[in-house]
Amino acid sequence: MSGANRIAGQGRLTPARTARFTFDGKTFDALEGDTVASALLANGVHLVGRSFKYHRPRGILSAGPEEPNALVDVSRDAARRQPNVRAPVQEVFDGMKVESQNRWPSLAFDVGGVNNLLSPFFAAGFYYKTFMWPKAAWEKVYEPFIRRAAGLGVAPTEEDPDHYANRYAYCDVLIAGAGVAGLSAALAAAEAGARVILCDEQPEVGGALHYDTSVKIDGQNGYDWAQATAARLEAMENVTVLTRTTAFGYYNHNFVGLVERVTDHLTRPDRKLPRERLWQVRAKRVILATGSIERHMVFANNDRPGIMLASAARTYLNHFGVAVGRKVGVYTANDSAYEAAFDLKRAGVTIAAIVDNRDKPGEAVLAEARKLGIEVLTGHSVVDTKGKLRVSSMSVARNGGGSARAIPVDALLMSAGWTPSVHLFSQSRGKVAYDAASGRFLPGTYAQDCLSVGSCNGTDALQATIEESLAAGELMARATGNEGGGKVELSGENAFDWTGGMAGSGEGAGVDTTVKAFVDFQNDVCAKDIRLAVREGMHSIEHIKRFTTNGMATDQGKLSNIHGLAIASEVLNREIPKIGLTTFRAPYTPVTFGALISHSRGDLFDPARKTPMHAWEEAHGAVFEDVGNWKRAWYYPRAGETMHDAVNRECRTVRNTAGLFDASTLGKIEVVGPDAGTFMNLMYTNAWDTLKPGRCRYGIMLREDGFVYDDGVVGRLAEDRFHVTTTTGGAPRVMHHMEDYLQTEFPHLKVWLTSTTEQWAVIAVQGPKAREILEPLVEGIDISNEAFPHMSVREGKICGVPTRLFRMSFTGEAGYEVNVPADYGEAVWEAIWARAEPLGACAYGTETMHVLRAEKGYIIVGQDTDGTVTPHDASLSWAVSKKKTDFVGIRGLKRPDLVKEGRKQLVGLLTKDPKVVLEEGAQIVADPNEPKPMKMLGHVTSSYWSENCGRSIAMALVAGGQSRMGQTLYVPMPDRTIAVEVSDMVFIDKEGGRLNG
Amino acid sequence: MADHALRKAPLGRHHGGSAGARVTPAAPATRLSLRAGEDAIGTLSLAFGLELPRRPKTSASVSGRHALWLGPDEWLLIDENGADLMGIASGVSALHSATDVSHRNTAILVSGPDAAGAIASACPLDLGNAIFPVGAAARTVLGKIEVVLFRSGEEDYRVECWRSFSPYAFGLLVEGAEDAGL
């Protein structure tokens, strides 16, 4: 048994296929293909949640993604849990656990329901006023309280064990929506030979044909025609049909985001399947066949469980075989609701009455009602309802006043007409236009290559929809160069054409009433709240929306927007288009983070760049640090060593013996061409034309404004070939900077740039024994001090493979940087290590590299400079050519502010107490006793314990620093003030004897 | 005289993918970033033994040597047989720039009926037959990285990327291959 309200012979589900699930701990049976909503209704459960603000009992309002009430928590297991799932969308699978939300201790008895009694205090915009004082209480008291009290589901805490997939796709024609319109358009486009993607959010195609059983197409039952058409389309090679797939976002240039729900309906999904798949589709043309959404009626207490949209009740009956009640009332302003009554009546359900607020409903439906013996009360309205956890009666009164009579019902269906789904059209930046005759917004001005067809375009009649859609499909296929196929023809027939519709509040909920007539169910906004907003001075719909939160819930006002507008229009006495419609934003319905992230998680979240020597470093105990995307060996602790111990040992070893350092991540750019020297002269401050092949030079690159942009050592390999190095982090932007100038400012130069960062593995061998280590491994290069002095480069071989060998140093020791083609990096490193280790050398990491360079006063661009530092500020005037007449930044350097006295300049700092290590970033003052705010002179940029100096050392940017040598300054810290002496930046080997040894 | 250092490819012996799309590291190859103006194309083509392509998204191939068009003055030359491309370039006097990038790049081969689908999981390029036929080549993106994509056969693609990005590219392609096969 899959529910007492299942009617034998109704619906399309197979009675033999059942699934079992729990709702708030109670077990229920469902049929395969049921949604949570249809299964609960089949079991007579209407109460499924509590409302957001007032905690009012709520039921199932719709049978689609517009559902504002029936939001539940669905879980497969502890980790696979999702809150705020729309019950009419989620399909049941065996073993599913469903929990209601926003209630405590239970759904039927909810303490928060007291909010409903206190509701006079929670009027629209209450939080803007009530909680304004005292200010400090907002963060600590009011906001946390409001967030606890209002709010729906609880976010899961466990890591999501599912995976998600992504596909980029292209097509000639993308069709969103596979109802009559979408299927017709797809058929015409596909037959013409177009590459077609057709998507629909429901598990099956068909759209309105799910409930509208009166439709016949080419003589076939409408729903069956839809399934057959989809099968025909799927069999075509040029067509992709995606069901359970929502087109959620329409972006620039016909780029549309679709999310396909792959496993959420499966009992035991194959682990290989992604839970969801994101489709990023670039379509040459788009056809929107998104249909329309039925509106509710706005009247007092229109939110009790059991009150729902008429088309939803029809869906539950005709597709799921479920009667939503046994004695059903209908309240409508539109003919379509009559057909729900007819279908239910024919299925054996009692129709208490059709209450139509119009004096003259459509004649055809009126005649049919009479034939079926259904009482129709025209010119009447439902003015109130009763029932605690489910509607038990409707109060009906003649329009314009008069006494109300209560009619017992156990379900109440309503329809105020249909709102075209222009969401995607609006997202495409199309402008909607108000059609006064039908009282609705329709696609007006198109901004992209798309067309709307069917009811989202305001086309109501079946045959007109078919013909419009076939024409659009063919037109879009032809427009994208497809010439195949003949004309597709289809003929449709249906029982009734629908008239009527209204927007705004109904009888008894109009101006001067204080009843709770809900406009926005999800955010608990009533008609009176909209009027309050207008009284408070909000006249634009954008202001009204934000003041009341109407339409701001996750359903984005699919039901409430038009009612809200109409109510505001009535009180403001201005036409609806003058008040304006808010813009629809993506996503159309909520999208999981998982789908948007897709593959970008775990190892694939971001590339982890590793050097060719990474495995060796790992095996030798290196601790790594992230530098951009690179993983760099930070230090190599030995057993029992702290980081401090390890760095001290590495620093001592390099200066006393030698060290190996992986410098592969340094950016490298090969600058080649007859004008290479000229180009280098323009890009760097130094003079390059005087640099001989085989020699190197430290270069500084400025931005146009004269500030230091990057630095690095450059080797000249030949007249027309330079090997440029950049900082690790600067590699890509320096390349772009150079390419940018080459293409825009110096296009006449015959020179080309190639990034070679990853072509070369770079092994720095530094220290007094560096030469001894390398000498036997190198072939074809005389590396004696005389033949190969500091700042030289040679090409030759090492360990039998080609090398570009640099004599250079970032430590102040005599040193080499061995460049070898990257695939040889590890083997060459190992060969060098095999020589180095017995001599007592060590491998060192970036931390030791930082200390050693600071001991020599070598700056790190980006650490000791911050984009406001000139070469002069950094004591690098020697690297700026005085003779050159042009280079990037030459004019910037002459700006008055860049040459004036008192600029912040880079200097050394020595703490008076040598044991104290300053904090990087700490501020520097002249007078620590000055009342706050003190005048700050600058800040510490680099600071280390220097084992080699036996004391702390630091570098700092200090106002007028170079004229403060020997002065005592102060670094105020929270717990003490540290006295420091200003010094130069070279703390070791000031004469450079070691470097050139 | 030391022993000759051994070569170690960035991806080692990785392999993965699905029945419909095999993902494997390509064998080492020599590569050149070749830059030259219009007037040098003829001479360079002669020297390299293939006609350097002049149209976007095209390539030229002769027995394991490929020239992929990357820009109006830029080609990526790949020689699967390891020929000394730098040596060939150094013999050409026409104005050009040749830079060895044999070790900078590595390649991943994606083959099989679902190969295009595997790549489309992370590459936003249109891989349809009419747009990206056999021989097509393009510098594009794969997830967050830059790659050069070359369609070497009906169901064969070569994804060239910088070596440190190759584990990331490989991981993406394997996940893409698995999903494309579903």
How confident is the model over A192-225, as pLDDT tens digits?
A: 999 999 999 999 999 999 999 999 999 999 999 9
Give the CA distances from residue A757 to residues A624, A724, A732, A760, in Å, rounded to whole numbers and listed in that order.
20, 10, 10, 6
A364 in a structural domain: no
Q: Residue A70: which domain range?
A: 18-116
Contact A260, A244 (CB under 8 A): yes
Answer whether the bond into residue A972 is a cis peptide, omega within 30°. Answer: no
Last residue of a domain, one of B80, B100, B120: B100
Instruction: Kindly list the residues from chain A whose CB atom is less than 8 angstroms away from the CB atom of residue B3.
Output: 799-800, 831
Distance between CA atoms of A767 and A569, rounded to whole angstroms?
Answer: 83
ipTM, two decimals = 0.97
Last residue of a domain, one of A574, A599, A629: A574
Closest by CA position to B156, among listed B63, B26, B40: B26
Q: What is the mean pLDDT of each run of 10 residues along chain A (997 residues)?
A: 86 93 97 97 96 91 96 94 96 96 81 74 66 65 63 84 97 98 98 97 98 97 98 97 98 98 96 96 98 98 98 98 98 97 98 97 97 97 96 97 94 98 97 94 97 97 97 98 92 94 95 94 95 93 92 91 95 90 90 95 96 98 97 98 98 98 98 98 96 97 97 97 95 96 97 98 98 97 96 97 97 97 98 98 98 97 95 96 96 96 96 98 96 95 97 98 97 96 96 88
Same domain, B124 and B70: no
DSSP A931: P
Buried b / exposed e along B150-173 (16+ C-beta atoms within 10 A) = bbbeebebbbbbbbbbbbbbbbbb
Same domain, A442 and A474: yes
A856: tokens are: 């020599």
Same domain, A91 and A48: yes
Q: Which residues pair with A405 in a beta bridge?
A: A396
B1 in a structural domain: no
Rounded to a whole number of angstroms, the distance from the CA of A293 to the nearest CA of chain B is 34
Instruction: Kindly list the residues from chain B whose CB atom is less than 8 angstroms away from the CB atom of residue A195.
Output: 128
Q: 3-state DSSP call for residue B117?
A: helix
Instruction: Kindly list the residues from chain B whose CB atom is less than 8 angstroms away from the CB atom of residue A607.
Output: 144-145, 164-165, 167-168
Same domain, A91 and A228: no
A286 in a structural domain: yes
Q: What would the DSSP string read from start to end of A331-352?
A: EESBTHHHHHHHHHHHTT-EEE
Q: Is A823 within 8 Å of B144 when comparing Cβ atoms? A: no
Same domain, B92 and B114: no
Instruction: Kindly list the residues from chain A whose CB atom is less than 8 angstroms away from the CB atom of residue B6.
Output: 824, 827
DSSP A133: S
B80 in a structural domain: yes
Last residue of a domain, one of B100, B117, B137: B100
Which pLDDT value is given to residue B2?
A: 46
Instruction: Kindly list the residues from chain B whose CB atom is less than 8 angstroms away from the CB atom of residue A273.
Output: 182
Same domain, B74 and B39: yes
A40: tokens are: 């609960």
Instruction: Kindly list the residues from chain B whose CB atom is less than 8 angstroms away from the CB atom of residue A779.
Output: 1
Q: Which residue of B has its CA nearest to A630?
A: B164
Please check whether residue B2 touches A, CB under 8 A.
yes
A592 in a structural domain: no
Q: Is A754 within 8 Å of B124 when comparing Cβ atoms? A: no
B116 in a structural domain: yes
Buried b / exposed e along A903-927 (16+ C-beta atoms within 10 A) = bbbbbbbbbeeeebbbeeebbbbbe
Same domain, A285 and A434: yes
Query: φ, ψ for residue A848 (rounded to 5)?
Result: -65, -40
B88 in a structural domain: yes
Rounded to a whole number of angstroms, the distance from the CA of A580 to the nearest CA of chain B is 37
**Residue A979: what residue type?**
A
Q: 3-state DSSP call for residue A362?
A: coil
Distance between CA atoms of A63 and A348, rounded to whole angstroms?
Answer: 21
Same domain, A752 and A874: yes
Q: Which of B123, B170, B179 to mutate to test the interface with A (most CBs of A within 10 A)?
A: B179
H helix count then E strand count, chain A = 25, 51
Of B101, B164, B182, the CB nearest to A273: B182
Q: Which of B39, B99, B132, B148 to mutate to test the interface with A (most CBs of A within 10 A)?
A: B99
CATH code, B80:
3.30.70.1520
Q: Are strands A525-526 and A792-798 parallel, antiparallel or unpaired?
A: unpaired
Instruction: Kindly list the residues from chain A whose CB atom is less than 8 angstroms away from the CB atom of residue B101.
Output: 754, 756, 759
Residue pairs between chains A and B whose CB atoms are closer than 8 Å: 146
Q: Are strands A18-23 and A26-31 parallel, antiparallel or unpaired?
A: antiparallel
Answer whether the bond into residue A134 is a cis peptide, omega within 30°. Answer: yes
CATH code, B164:
3.30.1360.120
A766 in a structural domain: no
Which pLDDT value is given to residue A146?
A: 63
Q: Which of A604, A613, A778 to mutate to test the interface with B (most CBs of B within 10 A)?
A: A604
A813 in a structural domain: no
Instruction: Kindly list the residues from chain A whose CB atom is less than 8 angstroms away from the CB atom of residue B164.
Output: 607, 609-611, 630, 758
If one counts every other C-beta atom within 10 angstroms of the C-beta of residue A218, the result is 13
Same domain, A286 and A173: yes
H helix count then E strand count, chain B = 4, 11
Rounded to a whole number of angstroms, the distance from the CA of A997 to the nearest CA of chain B is 25
B159 in a structural domain: yes
Q: Which residues pair with B30 in a beta bridge?
A: B79
Q: Is B165 within 8 Å of A827 when comparing Cβ atoms? A: no
A861 in a structural domain: no
Which pLDDT value is given to residue A416?
A: 98
Same domain, B21 and B37: no
Give the CA distances from residue A39 to residues A263, A479, A682, in Å, rounded to whole numbers and listed in that order.
19, 45, 75
Please check whether residue B167 touches A, CB under 8 A.
yes
A417: tokens are: 């007409």
CA A660 to chain CA mean position, Å: 43
Distance between CA atoms of A375 and A352, rounded to whole angstroms?
Answer: 7
Of B104, B126, B131, the CB nearest to A756: B104
Rounded to a whole number of angstroms, the distance from the CA of B177 to the nearest CA of chain A is 11
Determine whether A27 is exposed, middle or buried from the number of CB atoms within 10 Å of its CB (0-12, 13-18, 19+).
exposed
Above 50 in pLDDT, residue B1?
A: no
A804: tokens are: 């570009």
Same domain, A489 and A507: no
Q: Which residues pair with A288 in a beta bridge?
A: A176, A452
Last residue of a domain, one of A546, A574, A602: A574
Same domain, A671 and A529: no
Rounded to a whole number of angstroms, the distance from the CA of B16 to the nearest CA of chain A is 14
Contact A38, A203 (CB under 8 A): no
Same domain, A426 and A511: no
Of B8, B35, B124, the CB nearest to A168: B124
Alpha helical stretches, state H, A3-88? 36-42
Q: Is A754 within 8 Å of B101 when comparing Cβ atoms? A: yes
Q: Which residue of B has its CA nearest to A723?
A: B99
Contact A895, A703 (CB under 8 A): no
Buried b / exposed e along A66-98 (16+ C-beta atoms within 10 A) = bbbbbbbbbbbeeebbbbbbbbbbbbbbeebbb
CATH code, A262:
3.50.50.60
If one counts every other C-beta atom within 10 angstroms of the C-beta of residue A128, the result is 11
Of B5, B10, B123, the CB nearest to A799: B5
- At how many degrees (to 10) do helices A527-535 and A541-548 cross? 120
Same domain, B47 and B95: yes
Same domain, B23 and B34: no
Of A603, A752, A822, the CB nearest to B171: A603
B68 in a structural domain: yes
Same domain, B21 and B60: no
Query: Could you give the number of structural domains in chain A?
Result: 4
Q: Residue B171: which domain range?
A: 16-27+105-180
Determine whether A535 is exposed, middle or buried from the number of CB atoms within 10 Å of its CB (0-12, 13-18, 19+).
exposed
- At how many degrees (to 10) do helices A336-346 and A363-372 cross? 20
Same domain, A459 and A520: no
Closest by CA position to A433, among listed A329, A580, A306: A580
Same domain, A746 and A875: yes
Same domain, A192 and A258: yes
Q: Which of A759, A779, A797 to mutate to test the interface with B (most CBs of B within 10 A)?
A: A759
Give the CA distances from residue A344 to residues A5, A312, A411, A605, in Å, rounded to whole numbers and listed in that order.
12, 12, 12, 53
B8 in a structural domain: no
Which pLDDT value is given to residue A115?
A: 75
If one counts every other C-beta atom within 10 angstroms of the C-beta of residue A574, the result is 12
Q: Is B100 within 8 Å of A604 when comparing Cβ atoms? A: no
Residues 71-130 of B with CB under 8 A from A: 73, 95, 97-105, 117, 120-126, 128
Q: Is B143 within 8 Å of A604 when comparing Cβ atoms? A: yes
Name the maximum alpha-carbon separation found in chain A: 114
A695 in a structural domain: yes
Q: 3-state DSSP call for residue A849?
A: helix
Distance between CA atoms of A414 and A382, rounded to whole angstroms?
Answer: 10
Query: Could you give the number of structural domains in chain B?
Result: 2
What lies within 8 Å, CB to CB, of A984 at 6+ separation is A857, A907, A908, A965
Closest by CA position to B123, among listed B100, B153, B144: B144
Which pLDDT value is given to residue A13?
A: 95
Q: Which of B3, B6, B170 to mutate to test the interface with A (most CBs of A within 10 A)?
A: B6
Q: Which residue of A has its CA nearest to B131?
A: A170
Rounded to a whole number of angstroms, the distance from the CA of B36 to the nearest CA of chain A is 9
* Count of all residues that appear for chain B in the document: 182
CA atoms within 13 A on the CB side of A307: 34
CATH code, A59:
3.10.20.440
Last residue of a domain, one of B100, B124, B146: B100
Same domain, B135 and B68: no
If one counts every other C-beta atom within 10 angstroms of the C-beta of residue A753, the result is 24
Instruction: Kindly list the residues from chain B whose CB atom is less than 8 angstroms away from the CB atom of residue A780.
Output: none
CA atoms within 13 A on the CB side of A454: 27
Same domain, B88 and B118: no
Q: Which residues pair with A98 in a beta bridge?
A: A23, A74
Instruction: Kindly list the residues from chain A whose CB atom is less than 8 angstroms away from the CB atom of residue B122.
Output: 166, 168, 599
Which pLDDT value is given to residue A358?
A: 97
Distance between CA atoms of A13 and B82, rounded to whole angstroms?
Answer: 64
B3 in a structural domain: no
Distance between CA atoms of A100 and A116, rounded to whole angstroms?
Answer: 19
